[in-house]
Amino acid sequence: MEGIAIMTSGGDAAGMNPAVKCAVEYALSQGYQPYLVYNGLRGLIEDHIEKATSNAVSSIVNRGGTVLRSTRSKRFFEYEHRQKAYENLEKHGIKKLVVIGGDGSFRALNQFYTDFKVPFAGIPATIDNDIPGTDYCLGVDTALNMIRQSVDSIRDTANSFNRAFVVETMGRDCGYLAMASAVTSGAEICMVPELEYNLDSIGERLRLQIKEGRNFLIGIVAEGTGMSDYLTRWIGDNLKMDARLTILGHIQRGGSPTVRDRLMAFKFATAAVDSLQRGETCNIMVYRSGSFGTLPIQKVADTRCVVDPALIDMCRPLCK
């Protein structure tokens, strides 16, 4: 039986576990011997590799994070460590890889393919939703629901205590989480790297609303703007409203995967095994305009990630 290894790499995201479960079960049904790589790229180098069984992946579908654990390994960028990883795969008879992670991990595996010709299929997973070529990455829906729940709770206390709250969401360079959350949580202000903001007109708009009776405010800020502290102080100074900052942080990465994340994980995982079975070597599974497909890693690497323009338009009024 040909060996196919399944691993998670980079920042963990909800939906990774359902993807692991489905990849193992589907690979078994297609006549492969699946293996599990623990600790991401480090696990490839240090041979944290075990034969997978259906039992090993039962009861993981509802768990957040990744039971395979994950790392960001700098060592994998050195040839001698990739050579070690290759020897480990050879030892187990592993000829193909399914990697669930972000574009950094895909690029690392692409370099590995260039060196040793081990084909891989990539499944996009990051709460940032910033992998070019796909509208959806695993973990995003769960993170959005986590943010929604938090902002709903914050709204209760803000409204009760006549306060403004600035809520900082994750998203290293991408404002997707902040924009989708601002729109769906009814925020008054949104700051993201994709949109310019104008504090003068924001001030004018909100002072008018306060005059008309508004007693609380919610501002959603993407971490990538570095503006959370500043906006909190600005609200206190300029709108004369008691203001507090809540940084949601890593809470957004955890939690049981939503139904959407589980379904997307199953579809991506099946597509990944199918892609390897067709003999494709370095493809990323993508979901675009409502359909599933694949893109060569080179296309993904050469493309810039663009947030849905309709979502950006919905956010514009919150920036001025």
Instruction: Give the range of 126-134, 207-215, 240-248, 309-317 binding ligand F6P by CB under 6 A.
Output: 126-134
Instruction: Give the range of 170-178, 194-202, 208-216, 254-262 binding ligand F6P by CB under 6 A.
Output: 170-178
Contact 231, 191 (CB under 8 A): yes
**Mask for 212-251, x = binds ligand F6P (CB under 6 A):** -----------x----------------------------
Which one of 12, 103, 128, 130 is the catalytic residue?
128
Residue 261 sits in the site that holds ligand F6P (CB under 6 A): no
Q: Which string of DSSP letters, residue by residue, matches 40-52?
A: HHHHHHTT-EEE-
Q: Candidates 74, 117, 172, 278: give the one binding ligand F6P (CB under 6 A).
A: 172
Contact 138, 291 (CB under 8 A): no
**DSSP at 125:** B
173 is catalytic: no
Distance of alpha carbon 86 from alpha carbon 142, whole angstroms: 34
Nearer to ligand F6P, 131 or 158 (CB): 131
Residue showing the smallest CB distance to ligand F6P in the complex:
170
Nearer to ligand F6P, 194 or 223 (CB): 223
Distance of alpha carbon 49 from alpha carbon 218, whole angstroms: 47
Which residue from 257, 237, 235 is spatially nearest to 245, judged by alpha carbons?
A: 235
Cβ-based neighbour number of residue 272 at 10 Å: 31
Residue 19 sits in the site that holds ligand F6P (CB under 6 A): no
Q: Candidates 36, 170, 179, 285: give the one binding ligand F6P (CB under 6 A).
A: 170
| Local structure of 16: helix, strand or coil | helix
Residue 253 sits in the site that holds ligand F6P (CB under 6 A): yes
